[in-house]
Amino acid sequence: MATPLSGNRIRKELGRFLPSHRLVISEPSHNVTVRPESVPEVCSVLQYAQTESVPVFPMPEHGEIPVLEDWSIVLSLSGLKSVLDYSPDSSLVTVQAGATFDAFGDWLHDKHLALATAPETEGPIALWEYLLSPEVGRFGPRFGAKWDQVLSLSAILPNGRPFRMTASPGRSVGPDFSRLILMGRGRFGLPLELTLRVHPKPSRRETMVFLMPDLPTALEAAWRVAEEAAPEFLEAGMRRTKSASQAWLSVELWGEGNRLSVSKERVRKRIGSAASSVENTAAASIPASTLGPNAIHGNLPKHEILKELAPALEAVQYDMDVRIRGFLDGHACVIVRGEDVRMKACPESSIMHSSPDGERMLMAMAKELDPAGVFARVPSLWE
C-alpha cells in the first residue's frame, strides 16, 4: 500500500537532490517551501511534482498562496537572481527571473541603463512575478508593453521539461511560444531566465500633465500624441468624487537639450487648445494607480473604450479612478477602480490581454497540457 503523501514524505523525496536547509515544511499551510539555485534543480522539483500530482505555487512577493487540504510545493525563485550576460552592442541583458526589480535596477543604474517599463507595486517584486501577474506597469507607445521587452526566455514546463525560446532580432520566423508562457500567467510554464531589451539611461525625464475638460477629449488627444509623437509613457485618466470630476493627460518624455524641447513642442501641438491648463511637473502630481481591491482592467480596441466605460461611469455615483495607458496598435489598457464597477468586456480582474472566450480557451489548453494540475492554480495568486 502506498505511503500517504505528507510534508515529511515530500521533503524526504526532494532531499535526494536538494540540501535540507533549502526545504522547509509548514504544517499549518500544508506546503513545503523549496529554494532551488539552478535550472536542473527546478526541473527535478517539477518532475517530482508531476509524478506525484502535487500542486506547485511559485512564491510571490504579492498575493497569497492558497491553502489546500492536500499538500503542495511552494517554489521560491529567490536563489535564481543573477545577471548572466550583457551585450552593450545589442543592448540585451540576460537575467534570472528570481531577481527583484530593486536589485536589478541597481545593476542597471551602475551601467547607466534603464528598462522601458516598470511595475507600480509598492515593495519588492520579482521579474517573473511582474511578467506573469496582471500588474500592468507603466508603459507607452515608444517601447511597448512589458512583454515586448522580452526577446527570449528559458522556462520550466509543468512536466518538468526545460523550454528555451531564442530569437534573433529581425530574423526570426514561426510562432513565439514565449508569449504563451508570459501571457498565460503561469499556466503553461514558469520563466527562469529572461533576455530583456535595455536602453541608455536618459539624462532627463520630464512629465507634462494637461488638465482636460473631460475623458473623451483626453482620449482623443492621447491617440494623436501616441501616433505622432510616440512618448515613452502616456496615460489619460479621470478621477471622480462625490463633489467633483477631473480629467487629465500625462506624457513622459526622455531626452535632453534641444531634442527634449522639440518633443515637448510636438506634444503641445498635438493636444492643441483642448487642455484648459498645462503643467510641467513631477510625476507625483498624478498619484500612481496600482491594481488592488475593486479594480478591473482589460485591453480594449480604440473604438470600444468609451462604449465599454459608459455603463460604469453612469452606474457608479461615487469615487472612481480611471486610467487608460499604452495606446499601442489601436488598443489601450483600461484600468478602472471603484466600488461595484462592472464592464462587459472585462468581467474578471485578471483579464488584461484576452477576451472571456480567450480565457476559456487558455484554461482548456492548460488542462490538456497539464493533466495533473501542477500549475492549474497559479493564476489564483493574483485574482
pLDDT at 278 over 60: no
CATH architecture of 83-200: 2-Layer Sandwich (3.30)
- pTM here is 0.84
pLDDT average, residue stretch 171-191: 74
Supply the mean pLDDT for the chain: 81
pLDDT-derived band at 352, boundaries 50, 70, 90: very low
Q: Mind spelling out the 3-state secondary structure of the chain?
A: CCCCCCHHHHHHHHCCCCCHHHEEEECCCCEEEECCCCHHHHHHHHHHHHHHCCCEEECCCCCCCCCCCCCEEEECCCCCCCEEEEECCCCEEEEECCCEHHHHHHHHHHCCEECCCECCCCCCCEHHHHHHCCCCCECECCCECHHHHEEEEEEECCCCCEEEECCCCCCCCCCCHHHHHHHCCCCCCEEEEEEEECEECCCCEEEEEEEECCHHHHHHHHHHHHHHCCCCEEEEEEEECCCCEEEEEEEEEECCHHHHHHHHHHHHHHHHHHCCEEEEECHHHCCCCCCCCCEEEEEEEHHHHHHHHHHHHHHCCCCEEEEEEEEECCEEEEEEEECCCCCCCCCCCCCCCCCHHHHHHHHHHHHHHCCCCCCCCHHHHHC
pLDDT-derived band at 159, boundaries 50, 70, 90: confident
pLDDT in tens, 22-57: 999 998 888 999 999 999 999 999 999 888 888 898
Residue 343 is predicted with a pLDDT of 58
pLDDT in tens, 185-237: 777 889 999 999 999 988 888 888 998 988 999 999 999 999 888 899 999 99
pLDDT in tens, 142-152: 998 898 899 88
